[in-house]
Structure 1
Amino acid sequence: MTDELVLYTNPMSRGRIARWMLEEAGVAYRVEILQFGTTMKDDGYRAINPMAKVPTLVHGKSVVTECAAICAYLADAFPSAGLAPPVNARANYYRWMFFGAGPLEAAVTNRALGVDVPAGRERMVGYGSFSDVMNTLELALRTNSYIAGDSFTAADVYVGSQIGWGLQFGSIEKRPVFEQYFGRLALRPAYQRASEKDDQAAGELQTAV
């Protein structure tokens, strides 16, 4: 595919996930940095993403929002990067990608906001309890080197980013298996390139304020 890739992002956002994924895909892309409350809310950007949030990926005429979707889209759009299993071997890949987008993010966000699920109402939230989510995630990572098996995939970019942030900000328990898993991911050259670029962009934004 030859259409230009444009990432609309802010370096202090989930856009860091999309940047990492683009670096793993090894493709050329252009970045448009948006600021919260101003350029992210203007009519021009709302025409691309009515939610007025980042990240958004534009690939030619295609617009992709939501980090899990961006990761899955790039893995399929650039198969030579080997970031998705063969179609007939994607059960775990889909399972954990959507686990990250559903139970994991919801449980971690609710915990960070101090939202407690009333006793007996766990079925309503979809993830049961925070401990259920953490124990399930730990079991998966004790069983495999990566979240979907023995090979690194786009699901590791998405789930791994959440674990990395959770460990950094205290919203995910510092269990040894989580620290070991993210430690492996943080050594990846693509992760380090993406982090360096976003850190630089964040510094430039702060200087401009």
Structure 2
Amino acid sequence: MNARPILYTCARSRGLRATWAAEEAGVDIDLKILPFPPRYLAPEYLELNPLGTVPMLVDGPEDGGARMTESCAIAHYLASKGGPSELVIAPGEPDYAAYCDFTYHADATITFPQTVYMRFALFEKERGLEEAGHAYAKWFWKRLVKLEQRLEDREFLCADRFTVADICCGFALILAESVGLDEGVPDSLKAYRSRLTGREAYRRAVAREDAGLKALQAGG
């Protein structure tokens, strides 16, 4: 059995949700930073994850332990691994439904148009699909209305405290800033993002991923 959960990811990818959750929860993980995109630059990774996607969490024995590939699910798993946690809203608590909804909303509604924008407008624009990519940028901006309204009178999304829902939705806002999608992000959500990225656990997560990337680039 692995002594620690192993997280395979690329620095600043969706896997940051999992690295961040581990730091917030105090869960000791073995962080494995891969080159991007791993399906081409680390083909041996396909033996572990045939999808070739990141992140991937392996926890426990290979023949019966956890093997997870969804970043929001991994964040929830790591936050609740040690038992009840302030990072997770439990059944019966106020805002349990909202917690579930916003945690799933993060990828299903917000991050999805971002990934299509990135593919068409950044990674494959030579194919002549840049215009389509920018159409998805507008889709992303329109889909922020739910977050914007929810946070009109709240510091965090659920139960008046920071939770995994904030990690999952907050990452989409962090990604927006790094890939050129900040133009359409409301000021109120930029302020929310600043509150999140000011957290010590977030800074530790970023620093740890960056250190792993530097070691990878140095051949370490």
Q: Distance in 2 between matches of 1:94 and 1:80?
A: 16
| Secondary structure at 1:142 match in 2 | coil
3-state SS in 2 of match to 1:95: helix
Identical aligned residues as a percent: 28
* Runs of at least 4 residues off by over 6 Å: none
Label 1:116 to 1:32 Cα distance change in 2 as closer, same or farther (>3 A).
closer
> Are 2:24 and 2:79, in contact at CA under 8 Å, matched by a contact in 1?
no
Residues 24 and 81, structure 1, Cα contact 8 Å, conserved in 2: no
Do the aligned partners of residues 200 and 64 (structure 1) sit closer, same or farther apart at CA in structure 2, a change above 3 Å counting? same
Count of matched residue pairs: 197
- Any unmatched runs of 5+ in structure 2? 121-130
Q: Partner letter of residue 99 of structure 2?
A: Y
Matched, 1:65 2:69: yes
Q: What is the one-letter code of the residue matched to 2:21?
A: M
Report if the CA contact (8 A) 2:5-2:59 is conserved: yes
Match of 1:52 in 2: 52
Find the counterpart in structure 2 of residue 38 from structure 1.
41
| Aligned-partner SS, 1:208 | coil
TM-score by length of 1: 0.82
Counterpart in the other structure of 1:115: 132
Match of 1:188 among 177, 184, 199: 199
5 Å-filtered alignment, 1:1-209, equals 4-35=4-35, 36=38, 37-39=40-42, 41-42=43-44, 45-60=45-60, 61-89=65-93, 90-112=96-118, 113=120, 114-115=131-132, 129-172=139-182, 173-208=184-219
Q: In structure 2, what is the Cα distance between the partners aligned to 1:63 and 1:101?
A: 19
Q: Describe the shift of the 1:167–1:33 C-alpha distance in structure 2 as closer, same or farther (beyond 3 A).
A: closer
CA distance in 1, matches of 2:177, 2:133: 20
CA deviation after TM superposition for structure 1 residue 77, in Å: 1.8
Distance 1:170 1:4 in 2: 36
Instruction: In structure 1, list runs of 5 or more residues that go unmatched.
Output: 119-124
The 3-state SS of whatever aligns with 2:51 is coil
CA RMSD in angstroms comes to 2.6
Compute the displacement of 1:9 (Å): 1.6
**How far did residue 131 of structure 1 move?**
4.5
Name the TM-score, length of structure 2 as normaliser. 0.79
- Whole-Å Cα distance in 1 between the matches of residues 16 and 134 of structure 2? 30
Q: C-alpha deviations, 1:124-148, integer Å up to 9, x for none?
A: x9xx944531222211121321123
Structure 2 Cα separation of the partners of residues 23 and 203 of structure 1: 20
CA–CA distance in structure 2, aligned partners of residues 116 and 29 of structure 1:
35
Change (3 A) 1:129 1:66: same
